[in-house]
Amino acid sequence: MEDVKKVDHRHDKEKEQLVNRLKRIEGQVRGIQNMIENDRYCVDILIQISAIQAAMKKVSLHLMEDHTRHCVKDAIQKGNGDEAISELMEVVERLTKI
């Protein structure tokens, strides 16, 4: 694992919402596993996969916005903006790859 950086701006309610969203996604993934084990119709499985991808994208966008509004903003204010923006752009590139 890379450098572990802790943040202190994420509030307990926000963490709880993200964790709950990820738990729902985890349940959806288990549901797909069951659908495959039970030989469900491929289109039904693909629709569920699409729903999971959309849910994960929503989590990603939330985290990216949070990172930009707090971490990147703070780095810019402290004179480390170029590094923070480069890191952000690397993340955007990874998230937009198919």
Q: What is the pLDDT of residues 13-65, one digit of tens each?
A: 999 999 999 999 999 999 999 999 999 999 999 999 999 999 999 999 999 99
**Across 66-79, average pLDDT:** 94
Closest CA to 7 of 81, 89, 76, 67: 67
- Compute the distance between CA of residue 49 and CA of residue 34 in angstroms, rounded to an integer: 13
Q: Which residues neighbour 59 within 8 Å (Cβ) at sequence distance 6 or greater?
A: 18, 21, 22, 25
Tokens of 76: 């810019």
Q: What is the pTM of this model?
A: 0.80
